[in-house]
Structure 1
Amino acid sequence: MNNKKVIVKTEKLSKSFSVGGKQQHVIKNLDLEIYEGDFTVIMGSSGAGKSTLLYMLSGMDKPSLGSVDYCGEHITDMNDDKLAVFRRKHCGFVFQQIHLVDSMSVMDNVISTGMLIGQKQKELKKKAMELFEKMGLSEELTRKFPAQISGGEAQRAAVVRALINDPDIVFADEPTGALNSAGVKSVLDVLTNINNAGQSVVMVTHDIKSARRGNRIIYLQDGGIVGECELSKYVSGDEERHERIRKFLEGMGW
């Protein structure tokens, strides 16, 4: 029996789009529970609905049918303003597309997220610099504008932005896709560390090395969950873990 607290729950979650006059069903009647303190990884082939699911779990997108509850609160029925306040307080999001504001410095991009919920600028800058350092980003870089830094640096800055409000849950959509090996490790290490400290993480990835950081892997196919793999918390150098995930993914047809 699982005694973990459910932080996000979906019931009969569905999402469809109209393409050429026909309905394309991306997510179909999906029931899912995300547990507090878990590092949940969502995998599946291209077009399986991974990013669509992530956006609905975080309140960034609304389902066509079904519901999403956050700690018992029905977020599906919230209006846009209430949902925006909810996300700022409870959720962090790392996008595939980085979405840093070009007219603001890297530091201002990060701290503006905290200022929206009333945090003090001085405290935010201190917290941001601690996170930037963990990401291997210099103080000089934080004064630059997004166009003046590399794509990998921008992605790591976007991770800092997602973490600045100490969210209950961090949603990450392919957060390491544009990074070199050093950047991948720094991002995954930070996500692992915040998870070990109690924050929940839900990450979409196609990379088995990234998936190793999770303690639960959900596999999507044709808009539904077709398999799950439960693991212990990540420990560096656990080759048995890698082999178990590989066999699970092979069994899913990955």
Structure 2
Amino acid sequence: MVTPLETKHISKSYGNERVLSDINLSLNSNETLSILGRSGCGKTTLLKVLGGLESPDGGTVFVNQTDIQTLQPQDRDVVYLYQEALLFPHLTVFENIAFGLRLRKIDEKKVSKRTHTMIRKLQLNGMADRMPDQLSGGQKQRVSFGRALITNPSVLLLDEPFGNLDAYTRSNMQELFKQIANDLTITAVFVTHNVKEAILMGDRIGSISEGGLTIYPSVEAFVESEKNGVQEEIEFWQSIDKNTN
């Protein structure tokens, strides 16, 4: 079975600062790995290396068992989703979502069918002709998701995609992503600094600290670990709960 994403001994430094050190990971098809870590720990750097946006100082990233550095960007089958929606302001919802299909010169009837299907999955019915400036923050992020997912990439890289959303919209987007990722058998790396979000989104969870990546065999192992700050957060919320009851 082909492994969608694998890294071997990835390292990356900026000047004298070692950001990533001997990073090894392997993801299965339709698996989401949540990566947790404090600001500045190297989460975004790792995503950029995984997507081929930056070259590692050492080690190799394989997508479908091929070294991505040997491929042209358009052939890597990896999509990077930022915190900001970054929609094309001059294109409608439909055209933003269909953009990747048009680049691949897909037949127009298939473009229309797949784009309208994605719009329904994103719960954006009736909004196909709207422009980005007519959308709420949550709606813009849904369109951004649709544009990323419609080409069914082998690997989806998400860099705190819900960080700018309010709590209610964030919760809805988390559930929507899990549903669509499962429907399309998406393999994803989901970066966040939010412990609850990491647990909710990930089939497995990893944490970055001092340049190293620790991947836990289960969510339970992650919660029970004393190295990632989860126990301190649980104790904090328990103390808040006691004080309010």
The bucket for the TM-score relative to the shorter chain is 0.7 to 0.9
Equivalent in the alignment of 2:166: 180
Q: Distance in 2 between matches of 1:124 and 1:139?
A: 18
Q: Distance in 2 between matches of 1:60 and 1:98?
A: 18
Equivalent in the alignment of 1:65: 58
Deviates more, 1:168-177 or 1:213-222: 168-177
Q: CA RMSD in A?
A: 2.4
Q: Are the counterparts in 1 of residues 84 and 161 from structure 2 also a CA contact under 8 Å? A: no
Instruction: Render the CA deviation track for 1:103-147: whole Å, top value 9, x for unaligned.
Output: 22222122111111122333323323333333332423x323223
Check if 1:168 corresponds to 2:150: no
The partner residue of 1:133 within 120, 131, 136 is 120
Q: Are the counterparts in 2 of residues 155 and 178 from structure 1 also a CA contact under 8 Å? A: no
State TM-score, norm by structure 1.
0.78
Alignment size in residue pairs:
228
The partner residue of 2:5 within 8, 12, 19 is 8
Q: Could you tell me which amino acid in structure 1 is paired with residue 74 of structure 2? A: V
Listed as ranges, the gaps of 5+ residues in structure 1 are 232-240
Equivalent in the alignment of 1:204: 191
Distance 1:209 1:130, change over 3 A: farther
List aligned pairs for 1:1-254, cutoff 5 A.
6-18=3-15, 23-78=16-71, 82=72, 84-87=73-76, 90-140=77-127, 142-197=128-183, 198-211=185-198, 212-231=200-219, 246-248=223-225, 251-253=227-229
Listed as ranges, the gaps of 5+ residues in structure 2 are 231-245
Q: Distance in 2 between matches of 1:179 and 1:134?
A: 20
Q: Are the counterparts in 1 of residues 60 and 67 from structure 2 also a CA contact under 8 Å? A: yes
Q: Are the counterparts in 2 of residues 227 and 252 from structure 1 also a CA contact under 8 Å? A: no
SS at match of 2:123: coil
Structure 1 residue 245, shift from structure 2 partner: 5.1
Q: Are the counterparts in 2 of residues 14 and 26 from structure 1 also a CA contact under 8 Å? A: yes
Q: Distance in 1 between matches of 2:167 and 2:114?
A: 25
Q: Are the counterparts in 1 of residues 157 and 190 from structure 2 also a CA contact under 8 Å? A: yes
Q: Distance in 2 between matches of 1:190 and 1:123?
A: 24
Instruction: Render the CA deviation track for 1:168-189: whole Å, top value 9, x for unaligned.
Output: 2222111211223443234323
Structure 1 residue 5, shift from structure 2 partner: 5.1
SS at match of 2:46: helix
Q: Distance in 2 between matches of 1:9 and 1:195?
A: 19
Structure 1 residue 64, shift from structure 2 partner: 2.5
State TM-score, norm by structure 2.
0.81
Q: Distance in 1 between matches of 2:159 and 2:86?
A: 13
Q: Distance in 1 between matches of 2:66 and 2:194?
A: 33
